[in-house]
Amino acid sequence: CEDVLVKSQTKQNLNSIPLVDIYDRIIGSKSKCATHTLNNFGSCDLHRAFSVFLFDSKNRLLLQRRSSYKPIFPLYLTNTCCSHPLFNEDECIEEKAIGIKIASIRRLKFELGIRDTIKLDELKIVTRMRYLARYNEIYGENEIDYCLLIKKDVTLAPNLGEVDELIYITSNDLRNIVSCPKLTPWFKYISCNLLPMWWENLDNILSRKDDQLPQIINAGDISAFPV
């Protein structure tokens, strides 16, 4: 079983994902592994990613602890689901960020085992965030990260190769969560700067029609974001 989980990560690392410029325009592709490998300047290729924040009908947020099999930030607590679109026709559709939503639904099903039907319009994009975060001397993240919200009660059957633990938290729990020593840098930044406002206005945000893509927030280098 463990061998299967390791092979799954190895196979995923060969997938091609979209490289982008600072304006989030696709300029090419590379394997997931190559994209996350740091260069001599301590950075890596800027690429497109997404972070999903799934709330249930009680307004609790679902968090996951990343699997120990993950090559980057293993066993770190993070938002519901974070990954990358594949470099293919469907997941690179730019119109209304449909490609990102297709990719988000794919990963929600793959990582969390969600079998409930998720519609594209149930996912709301609230921001795009550019950031750099080194994990160690070899690997890191350099992403334009689409942040998506969804409110839905779902049945969970987590993929052990992707997820070590799943927990629901309330907005009151957030202050304690951000003090956890093993929190992914992007989730820590979002939790301290953006998530409280989203949570407070959740129903209003989810009732809005899809407008133009939000501007890109430049969070900078958050590798050593303070606890």
Angle ∠(189,194,195) on CA atoms, nearest 5: 95
Rounded mean pLDDT, 105-130: 95
Distance CA(147)–CA(216), nearest Å, equals 11
Q: According to the model, what pLDDT value does residue 115 have?
A: 87
Distance CA(89)–CA(16), nearest Å, equals 12
Rounded mean pLDDT, 142-157: 97
Distance CA(124)–CA(102), nearest Å, equals 12
Active site annotation includes 82: yes
Task: Return the closest-CA partner of residue 192 out of 206, 181, 177.
Answer: 177
Active site annotation includes 2: no
Task: Return the closest-CA partner of residue 126 out of 175, 191, 198.
Answer: 198
Rounded mean pLDDT, 182-210: 95
Assign 210 a pLDDT band (cuts: 50, 70, 90): confident
Selecting among 82, 91, 92, 141, the annotated active-site residue is 82
**pLDDT tens digits for 45-59?**
999 999 999 999 999
Range of the domain at 127: 2-221
Of the listed ranges 6-15, 88-97, 134-143, 173-182, the one predicted with least confidence: 6-15
**pLDDT tens digits for 162-177?**
999 999 999 999 999 9
Q: According to the model, what pLDDT value does residue 8 have?
A: 61
Q: According to the model, what pLDDT value does residue 212 have?
A: 80
Q: According to the model, what pLDDT value does residue 6 have?
A: 54
Distance CA(135)–CA(30), nearest Å, equals 19
Q: Is residue 191 domain-resident? A: yes
Q: Is residue 204 domain-resident? A: yes
Selecting among 91, 111, 141, 143, the annotated active-site residue is 143
Q: Examine the pLDDT at 3 and tell me if it is beyond 70.
A: no
Rounded mean pLDDT, 34-39: 94
Assign 184 a pLDDT band (cuts: 50, 70, 90): very high
Give me the CATH number covering residue 196: 3.90.79.10
Buried b (16+ CB within 10 A) or exposed e, 128-143: bbbbbbbbeeebbbbb
What value does the mean pLDDT of the chain take?
A: 92
Q: According to the model, what pLDDT value does residue 15 have?
A: 87
Q: According to the model, what pLDDT value does residue 136 have?
A: 93
Reported residue count of the chain is 227
Percent of the chain past pLDDT 90, that is, above it, reads 84
Q: According to the model, what pLDDT value does residue 164 have?
A: 97
**Would you say 64 and 165 are in contact if contact means Cβ atoms under 8 Å apart?**
yes
Total number of domains constituting the chain? 1
Q: Is residue 227 domain-resident? A: no
Q: Which two tokens stand for residue 155?
A: 């049945």
Q: Is residue 226 domain-resident? A: no
Rounded to whole angstroms, the maximal C-alpha distance in the chain is 47
Q: Is residue 38 domain-resident? A: yes
Q: Examine the pLDDT at 227 and tell me if it is beyond 80.
A: no
Q: Which two tokens stand for residue 210?
A: 């899809």
